Amino acid sequence: MPTADQRLDQLEPVISEMLARQDQLSAKQDELSARLDETSAKVERVSAQVRQLTLTVTSAISAQSDNITLLLEKTTKLEQGQAKLEQGQLDLRQEMNERFQQMDQRFSQIDQRFGQVDQRFDQLFDFLKEKLK
């Protein structure tokens, strides 16, 4: 059976190797912690940029939405105005047609009166011719 010193001599290289391995693992853990901190900082920067970009895009979309709403309102007003103009044109055409019809009737009446005057002149000339003979 080995003595306590012999057993200690056998365990010493194993413990030494384990301590060296523990130091390596500790160094690796420190390196990974540093990388994790670095990655966390990058994620935080990217998150901030994404938030800013989201705000910018949201603002732009909101502005465009407001512009589209304004344009739609103006388009609706223009369409209503155009409809009123078209109705006004139709009313004006109808009124003009009525007035032209009235003018045609008056011209017809004037033609009839001229016809009557012509007949009277013809009668008067005939009468004068008869009297002068």
133 residues of the chain, pLDDT tens digit each:
778 888 878 888 889 999 999 999 999 999 999 999 999 999 999 999 999 999 999 999 999 999 999 999 999 999 999 999 999 999 999 999 999 999 999 999 999 999 999 999 999 899 888 888 7
CB atoms within 10 A of CB 129: 9
Q: Residue 77: what pLDDT?
A: 97
Q: Residue 130: what pLDDT?
A: 87
Whole-angstrom distance, CA of residue 86 vs CA of residue 68: 26
The radius of gyration of the chain's CA atoms, rounded to the nearest angstrom, is 56
Domain edges within the chain: 1-101
